Structure 1
Amino acid sequence: MTAAALPALAQTAFTDTAAGRPAMRDVSGMIMLDYSTITLSDGGAFDLFGVHYMQRANDWLYYGVGAFAPLAQGDYGGFFGADATLHIQRRIAGNWFANAGISVGAAAGGASVAGIQSLSGDGFYSRAYVGLGYTYRNLSFGVNYARVAIAGSPINDATINFFVQRPFSFSVGSYGDAGSVVSSADFDAPAHENIVSLQFNNFAQINPTGRYTGDIGVASTQFTHFHNPNLYSFFAVDIGVTGLHWYNQAHGGIGTRVALSPNVNLYGQIGLGSSGWVTDTVDTGPGFIIYPKAMLEYLWGNGVGATVSAGYLYAPMGTSRNWTLGLGLNYHLSHSEAQARSAPNGLDYSLRGIRLNVFGRTTSSITYNGRESDGISMIAVQADYALSDHWYIAGQIAAAATAFRGYAGYAEGFVGVGWQSNAYANGRLQAYAQLMYGLNDVGVDAAHEVGALLYPAVGVSYHLNDRLSLYSQLGAAVSLGQYVGSHTNTFENYSIGLGVTYRFSLPTRS
């Protein structure tokens, strides 16, 4: 697609809207799972399992983001990384295709706190790969030759990488059409239900053998996709927010739903994934976990449900065993199949404005506990959900691609609210201000934690068209514990960020 064509696309969307019917377009992509075994430069064993979302840019180019963690080799449960990927894929003969790509990101972990330095180096992750694949029906699989490295780390190896891909597509609207209502008869509405879940889960350790023996509270998010009225698959991420900050796990699997009444549903699921912090703190061995869980949902209406859940999380290759209890909310993004059948003329969907901002953040010198440390470079992703023309809810995660005080793996996470101005300069220029609350991980242990952070920020976006914008952010992070007495450690810095924004509106049930 040429640069000259981009304004024309935006103009097409606005023209359709002016005719009284919001323009919808199909977005296609794929989910890619990959697995590599790695020999560390010191001879040790290691592996990485990755999950990536890849969006199609044209017939041969994809771009996307993903996460990866170890599963079954080594002793590094809790190692975790995220990356951005450019992927080229082209059919060469019949169902055979060639592919190649490059990924960059941040990653860190270790068998102990001190081991973070020896295993993770500076934390900057890179991967390059090339290989062949074969497509059978709606599934593709293949093998790549890959080079995986983390700067300054023993993770630096050429390896064979196995992958599986599954394509999918969905419909989105113009960002300028946010707030409009469309009928499912006018676009390719989801044939099955999709649910986004937010929960707080408490992990109660059973006879822990690691250095940390208390409970772990995690903020959990899960995306659930139904394949028929009762059977679903899911993917979930959990991040520690109490007890052991930035404990992390990712898992996916299958489940089933039973309707106990029109407003009450029972869900049962089992997930497989990777989990931990550092191995001598919580012993998940190489990280592999099995996580069966049951969830009871009460539907209030309009797709919103309150949930309570219970589960058993265990690491079969380590000693970690946990009972889990959780409270949360479900939001049913799409109408059920029964509702669709009862409305042959279509069901209403509202377009919700969403912005995905991907940018690099570079900090000033960091004042940590009275001492000044060198600044760091981070890769940040922020999602904005529009509440109105001016107000939005925001969530941001940032991971360091350089070491902080000699330790890789520094991370920050925030949620908050923002306000944006009207657009000026022929609709191109827009300013914003936001206030966010969250946590960071100074990468050592609980004695070094600084507690909650406040992150005010301001910035300007320059809209190239209705989909793409240039994005800037100037922010300051300051620890609150020093003022409210919850922590004696202090943390302060300024940061500047530059990147891009992808804007769209997502149809969700009205």
Structure 2
Amino acid sequence: MKKLFCLLVILITTQSFFAQLEKKPQKITQKGFAKVDFLSINMPETGIMNEPNMGFTGIHYNLLLNNFYTGLGIYGAVSGARGGFFTLGVNAGYKKFLSKKLFLDSGFHFGGGGGANAPDGGGAFILPHFNIGYEFRDFSLNAGWSYVNFFDNGLIKNHQLNFAVEIPLDYDYANYNNREKMYNIQHLKNSEWDTKAGKFSVMMHLNNLVTKGRSRNTLDPKYNLATIRLAGFEIASYFYKNWFAFIKVDGAFSGIPGGYMDVFFGSGYLLSFNRNRTNLLAKFGVGAGGGGGVDTKGGFLIYPDISIEQQIFKDAFISLNKGFVMSPNSDFYSESYGVGLKYYLEKDGIQSTKSNRESAKLKGLNIIVKQDLYFNAKRKENPTEDMHQISLQVNFDLTKNLYVAGQTSFANFGNAGAYAEGIVGFGLKSNLLLNNSTSFFVQTLAGAAGGGNISTGQGLIIKPSAGLDYTLSNTLKLRASGGYVKARAGELSSPFINLGINYTISFLKLK
């Protein structure tokens, strides 16, 4: 018995010793920048007499690869007569510095989208630009020529000036294959991870807009207290003590015809009490919204809000919110209320404001850009035909094989330019198989969809699928999948396939 006990002690001691010698994960820094741009598009003569220019503003994030860059961007109408016009696309470009501060920027954006009964055709468009810019200490400004063309049977084609502001925004990451590995905080002392952790929050929520006042639909009658039911997500980053910046995206799934969407970004302040178990937050955001028959005029909206959160376990909180979503002149006016599940995390550093952090774990993150093909997508009125869409999906790994996912998609071919989706769900994936090159997955997503004359009823869809990821490099995988999409109260019921690129990284999360 004594020999057995001694052997057990030796095994535990040896395991602990080798665990302490485990190689520290390499910390990799990716250079990048966020960009907000604006262009005023001269609209073609269609159903609106003397239609004003559509103010088109975009939010982008680009990775810097030496002087080249690539990334993603979402645009929305903020002035004119096309509130609810949204697009999603990919960026690529090149920067050439003429001096230490002065630079030329030539770039290209390809995407899909539309809305608000605009002549967007199938939704596919290109947006090249050629700008000159100046780099200041913490940001840069640039402006120049751009050209927009909705080339898949759309009528929106125009040359215009564009203006942009860019902010450097780098991030740290580790190899995706190290995900779910645990590290003792002391083990990471005096390493490249021994820096201040960044604080973030991610929230999935259900929201409601109770329309009031002069709020009308595009057929002119007032909404008369109609309630628009929304599902979406919010991501916040804390930049100074309890001050944070956020981006919030919602889509309607009930209450009105499918198609309403809004996107906000802004800032807020968090006040914590009750031993940090209860939070009170005040937020103010600006953004764009419309669609589904909601008349938001040019599309520019403001979003003041107050939320209260209560801890339910460790870093998870239940959130209740009350606020307003409205145009500045109250042409569209609604009271907002909802509930959400929020998760806080401190990442990419071991120096925490909380004294009880003893370990850290690498968590996996997938960012997937793909092109979908819906076969025979049922229309409300027009003849049924295939529909294509560009899609962005983000997966957060809960374990090595289980993940939660969020996805947004916009039509770009197939005569459905205003169609868009915002869906969430869960998936399961295998370990690497076939000579460590391929993993397989199944997932089910559900949420809001509508617009583009696609028959989605009030907007609720469910979308199961299965597919595979084939490894190309440490961070890139080729993705292919197929599945089925079904509208709960509409006639959309189609098989689909897609092909895309999966960008895979892991980040260090304090526990």
TM-score where L is the length of structure 1: 0.85
| CA deviation string 1:308-346 (max 9, x = no partner) | 1111221024611111112112211217999825659x8
Match of residue 235 from structure 1: 247
Asked whether 1:377 is paired with 2:391, we answer no
Asked whether 1:412 is paired with 2:421, we answer yes
Paired amino acid for 1:332:
Y
Quick check: 1:302–1:509 contact (8 Å CA) kept in 2?
no
Match of residue 88 from structure 1: 94
Matching residue within 331, 339, 346 for 1:327: 339
Match of residue 504 from structure 2: 503
Quick check: 1:203–1:215 contact (8 Å CA) kept in 2?
yes
Over the aligned positions, Cα root-mean-square deviation in angstroms equals 2.9
Give the gaps of 5 or more residues in structure 1.
1-16, 482-486
In structure 2, how many angstroms separate the alpha carbons of the residues matched to 1:370 and 1:234? 39
Match of residue 440 from structure 2: 431
| CA deviation string 1:234-279 (max 9, x = no partner) | 221121122133311111122112223321221111111111116x
Quick check: 1:196–1:222 contact (8 Å CA) kept in 2?
yes
Quick check: 1:283–1:318 contact (8 Å CA) kept in 2?
no
For these two proteins, the number of residue pairs brought into alignment is 474
Q: CA deviation at 1:477?
A: 2.0
Asked whether 1:224 is paired with 2:236, we answer yes
Paired amino acid for 2:102:
W
Match of residue 305 from structure 1: 317
Give the gaps of 5 or more residues in structure 2.
1-19
Paired amino acid for 2:343:
Y
* Worse overlay, 304-313 or 206-215: 206-215
In structure 2, how many angstroms separate the alpha carbons of the residues matched to 1:428 and 1:135? 42
Paired amino acid for 2:27:
M
Q: CA deviation at 1:293?
A: 0.6
Structure 2 counterparts to residues 170-209 of structure 1, below 5 A: 170-182=171-183, 183=185, 185=189, 186=191, 187=193, 189-207=195-213, 208-209=215-216
Match of residue 486 from structure 2: 478
Alpha carbons of structure 1 residues 478 and 291: separation in structure 2 relative to 1, 3 Å: closer
In structure 2, how many angstroms separate the alpha carbons of the residues matched to 1:200 and 1:437? 13
Q: CA deviation at 1:497?
A: 1.2
Asked whether 1:121 is paired with 2:121, we answer yes
In structure 1, how many angstroms separate the alpha carbons of the residues matched to 2:461 and 2:334? 29
Q: CA deviation at 1:290?
A: 1.6
Quick check: 2:131–2:142 contact (8 Å CA) kept in 1?
yes
Match of residue 9 from structure 2: none
Quick check: 1:170–1:190 contact (8 Å CA) kept in 2?
no
Quick check: 1:450–1:490 contact (8 Å CA) kept in 2?
no
Asked whether 1:357 is paired with 2:368, we answer yes
Asked whether 1:136 is paired with 2:136, we answer yes
Matching residue within 31, 35, 43 for 1:32: 35
3-state secondary structure, aligned to 1:176: helix
Quick check: 2:279–2:310 contact (8 Å CA) kept in 1?
yes
Paired amino acid for 2:315:
G
Alpha carbons of structure 1 residues 394 and 252: separation in structure 2 relative to 1, 3 Å: closer
3-state secondary structure, aligned to 1:334: strand
Quick check: 2:76–2:288 contact (8 Å CA) kept in 1?
yes
Match of residue 409 from structure 2: 398
Alpha carbons of structure 1 residues 450 and 195: separation in structure 2 relative to 1, 3 Å: closer
Asked whether 1:257 is paired with 2:270, we answer yes
Matching residue within 350, 353, 359 for 1:348: 359
In structure 2, how many angstroms separate the alpha carbons of the residues matched to 1:440 and 1:259? 36
Quick check: 2:382–2:453 contact (8 Å CA) kept in 1?
no
TM-score where L is the length of structure 2: 0.85
Paired amino acid for 1:362:
L
Quick check: 1:340–1:347 contact (8 Å CA) kept in 2?
no
Alpha carbons of structure 1 residues 363 and 243: separation in structure 2 relative to 1, 3 Å: same
| CA deviation string 1:158-198 (max 9, x = no partner) | 11100000002221121111111344744165554222222
Alpha carbons of structure 1 residues 332 and 190: separation in structure 2 relative to 1, 3 Å: farther
In structure 1, how many angstroms separate the alpha carbons of the residues matched to 2:332 and 2:197? 40
Q: CA deviation at 1:233?
A: 1.9
Alpha carbons of structure 1 residues 317 and 146: separation in structure 2 relative to 1, 3 Å: farther
Quick check: 2:481–2:497 contact (8 Å CA) kept in 1?
yes
Q: CA deviation at 1:432?
A: 2.2
Q: CA deviation at 1:372?
A: 6.8
In structure 2, how many angstroms separate the alpha carbons of the residues matched to 1:39 and 1:371? 28
Alpha carbons of structure 1 residues 395 and 270: separation in structure 2 relative to 1, 3 Å: closer
3-state secondary structure, aligned to 1:94: coil
